[in-house]
Amino acid sequence: MSTVKTRRDVLGTNALRPDGAAKVKGEFSFSSDMWSDGMLWGATLRSPHPYARIVRIDTSPALAIDGVRAVLTAEDVPGVLTYGLIDQDQPVFAVDYVRYMGEPVAAVAADHPETCRRALAAIIVEYEVLTPLTDPELSLDTSTPAIHPNGNVFRHQRIVHGDTSVVGDVVVEGEYEIGMQDQAFLGLEAAMAIPDADGAGIELHIATQWLHEDQKQIAACLGLPIERVRLVLGGVGGAFGAREDISLQVHSCLLALTTKRPIKMQYSREESFFGHVHRHPARVHIRHHAKADGTIVKIEARMLFDGGAYASTSSAVLINGITHIQGPYRCPSAVVDGFAVRTNNPPCGAMRGFGVVQACYAHESQMDRLAEACGLSHVEIRLRNAMRTGDTLITGQPVESVAPVERCIRETDALPLPPPLIDSPDVLELPGGTGLTSRSENIRRGIGWGVSIKNIMYSEGFDDYSTARCTLQDGVVALKFATSEVGQGFVTLAPQIARSVLGVTDVVVEPMDTTIGSAGSTSASRQTWMSGGAVDGACRLVRERLFEHVGLANGIDALRLVIEDDEIVDTMGTLRIKVTDAAPGVRFEETFEHHHRPTEDLDENGQGNCHVAFAFVAHRAVVDVDVELGLVKVVQVATAQDIGRALNPLSVQGQLEGGIAQGLGLAVMEEVIVQDGRVRNPSFTDYLLPTALDAPEVVYSLIEEPDPQAPLGAKGVGEPPCISVTPAIASAIRQATGRDIRRVPVRPQDICL
């Protein structure tokens, strides 16, 4: 709960995060900091094999250990045995088979983490080890035995659009590969499950992206009515998609209900790598047809996403991938085939950019080739094809969103370049950094481009509405919503909205939990639009009530009243009264649901108005490369982003810079390395994230063309920053080295060997 007392912090200002100081000082309570009297610890036993049949499980040696209170397996799941966001195919505990390394097999509750560890070691699981299916191409082969009763293909979707017989004067073709990225949030998975006194219900404190979706899936697995499962948001330390799927939710609740004691569960960094989904690795084959002047006439593409062992959101990621493969460019004709398949690799699902990252790396690499084939610059080719509002996508959907693609490119191009590489710069700023590998004579500099289109909100007919309640009494507003604050800043924005609409200063944000309707997921760049719309709607309803009250009390028509600063003002008279004094003791309370306009499913040719809205961004990367050693330093990233409206410019800047760092990670270092179904680097020692010395200078321009569809005129800004920066960096490396870079992350050996 937080109170912000600065009248200034209205929409459009750099209001500060209410939890910012606490986070910086280490005082913020993350979900892993939770504690409860009489609690036990929970822990998970995971499969050491990517694929095996479970011959036998014997939990009795674990139960015999002093201090162990429960050992649970699939047999102990009272409700449905599986969960999932779209298809419920992921077992709470493995049933008969384990299909990926790290799949949960059992869970224990004990009085101490060390007792838990010993209990896990004592559980006997006899496996018949099977040969894992790890090549996604093989999953498509109908002669490959199915590794799951639902089959090896999660989804296949085709897009056929326009005149597919068209052949371009110029044809460029490429095969691209994107590695598996981890969300690598800093706050590890953690939960506190507290059983109700009557044993027939549970309260779960949890770091998640979507309380209500968790609630639904947990209740089904527990076999409890939904109202007996109450969720409260724990302090979340980042999410990036990794908290959309269930991880330890059901396990902790089951252990709590079984032991009748509060259960604390938390993952280590290593377990976290196995406990959540990752970004899909993908292979993209793509062919562009263009006129001699560079105008695109057709694309042909095949996209293959490796979804790993269970469905998670693979089918939706796939649709995002194929429907964005044209990029932010006009394209009259297309033939696209997309597949999301099952393997015995780690399950993959949501991550910032959701399928579009993979598409963007491929289409932007192609734009560079097309530019070269047509003798155009990298900027010219993109300007020539830039999409505009009113254009039709390859799905047949018209782009109704504001689409300032050309402006994104031109404004990025106009941003200043960094100073040239001087003869003796600070060696730490060169590729290789503190390793002192390089001198400026070893360096070549490249400049690369990336531009992207990203859908915001959920697609394909899904009504992902948001709910908010606003209460006003004596000038103090309380806001209630179930919107997960995962670090994106909705706890800053919501009070800004209330202050702007209601002319108040003091806004209390109540705890986020399931005692109010769903807010949808904190994902798909949607909460500013959706929950922002809900808070705005609730505050406007309260304002109407307030005006009615003041109108009645003063004998004037409420329609004449407006809010000016912190006062209610009669536009046709002299009345002026402070909001704080307008209705002493009266409590106004309104709840509002914001729904976006409906969307449609795709038909068998991939045609349909499946997305709600789009946001655009351009990136230009300047990269220094030590060509001989294959080491890189991203010197600067320039970006102009289509944001609709900057409701909090500082927050926007944070998203831009953070997204760029994450996209840089995918470009040059972040990869979950999987060999034969085994994760080889489940630690921050070997899964490398950019450090301060790797992060570039960011220069940016915000393009503010308010979107008429958006409740506050603002588009979501969360995902676009990380999407086209990856191909921009890869492109700069190509420019610097002349190497044909087909894969990200780009490894040193890809550059120099």
Partner 1 sequence: MTVHSPRTIDQAVTLLEKYPSAMILSGGTDFMVEVNFNHRKPSQVVSTRAIEELRQWNIDHDTNSIFIGAGVTYSTIESSDIAQAAPALAEASRTVGSPQIRAAGTMGGNLGTCSPAGDTLPVFAALDAKILLASNAGRREVSFADFMVGPKKNSLLAGEMVLGVSLPIIEGWQGYAKVGVRNAMVISIASACLVRNASDDSVRVALGSVGPTIIRARAAESWWLDQGAPRSSSEMHTEFGARCAAEASPITDHRSTAEYRRHAIKVLCTRLAARSTSR
Using CB under 8 A, list all residues that contact partner 1.
Answer: 117, 270, 428, 431-437, 439, 442, 628-631, 633, 668-669, 673, 675, 680-681, 685-686, 688, 690-694, 747-749, 752-753
Of 725, 615, 722, the closest CA to residue 328 belongs to: 615
Q: Which is nearer to partner 1, 362 or 664 (CB)?
A: 664
Cβ–Cβ under 8 Å, residues 376 and 339: no
**Measured from the CB atom, is 288 or 678 closer to partner 1?**
678
Helix (H) or strand (E) holding 666, with range, is: helix 649-668
3-state helix, strand, coil in the chain (%, to 5): 30, 30, 45
Question: Please, are residues 173 and 281 in contact by the beta-carbon 8 Å criterion?
Answer: no
Residue 471 Cβ vs partner 1, minimum distance, rounded to whole Å: 46
How far apart are CB 24 and partner 1 at their closest, in Å? Answer: 17
Q: Rounded distance, CA 337 to CA 171, Å? A: 19
Between the alpha carbon of residue 35 and those of residues 31, 115, 234, 513, 676, the distances in Å are 9, 18, 12, 18, 39
Distance CA 346, CA 314 (A): 12
Give min distance, CB of 191 to partner 1, in A: 21
User: Rounded to the nearest 10 degrees, how much is the dihedral formed by the CA atoms of 54, 56, 61, 63?
Assistant: 80
Rounded CA-CA distance 346/273 in Å is 9
Task: Provide the minimum distance between the beta carbon of 438 and partner 1 in the complex, in angstroms, as a whole number.
Answer: 8
Distances (CA, A) of 165 to 168, 169, 332, 522: 10, 13, 12, 42
Cα gap 272→691, rounded to integer Å: 21
Q: Which is nearer to partner 1, 141 or 628 (CB)?
A: 628
Q: What is the DSSP letter of 420?
A: P
CB of 664 to partner 1, least distance (A): 10
Closer CB to partner 1, 379 or 427, in the complex: 427
Q: 226 or 673: whose CB is closer to partner 1?
A: 673
Beta strands in 269-411 (DSSP E): 278-279, 282-290, 296-306, 333-341, 348-349
Of 464 and 694, CB closest to partner 1: 694
Q: How far is the CB of 581 from partner 1 (least distance, A)?
A: 53
Q: For residues 520 and 2, what is the distance between their CA atoms, to the nearest angstrom?
A: 22
Cβ of residue 119: shortest distance to partner 1, in angstroms?
A: 14
Question: CB-wise, 27 or 628, nearer to partner 1?
Answer: 628
Q: Which of 45, 49, 40, 80 is nearest to 59 (CA)?
A: 45
Nearer to partner 1, 193 or 634 (CB): 634
* Beta carbon nearer to partner 1, 16 or 689: 689
Query: What stretches of 84-240 show up as alpha helix (H) in DSSP?
Result: 113-122, 136-140, 211-222
Q: How far is the CB of 665 from partner 1 (least distance, A)?
A: 9
CB 693 to partner 1: min, Å: 4
Q: How far is the CB of 186 from partner 1 (least distance, A)?
A: 15
Min dist. Cβ of residue 540 to partner 1 (A): 49
Choose between 87 and 270: whose C-beta lies nearer to partner 1: 270
Alpha helices, DSSP H, located in 503-644: 527-554, 579-582
- Confirm if 106 and 71 have CB atoms less than 8 A apart: yes
DSSP state of 515: T
Nearest to partner 1 of 669, 723 (CB atom): 669
Q: Rounded to whole angstroms, how far apart are CA atoms 326 and 290?
A: 13
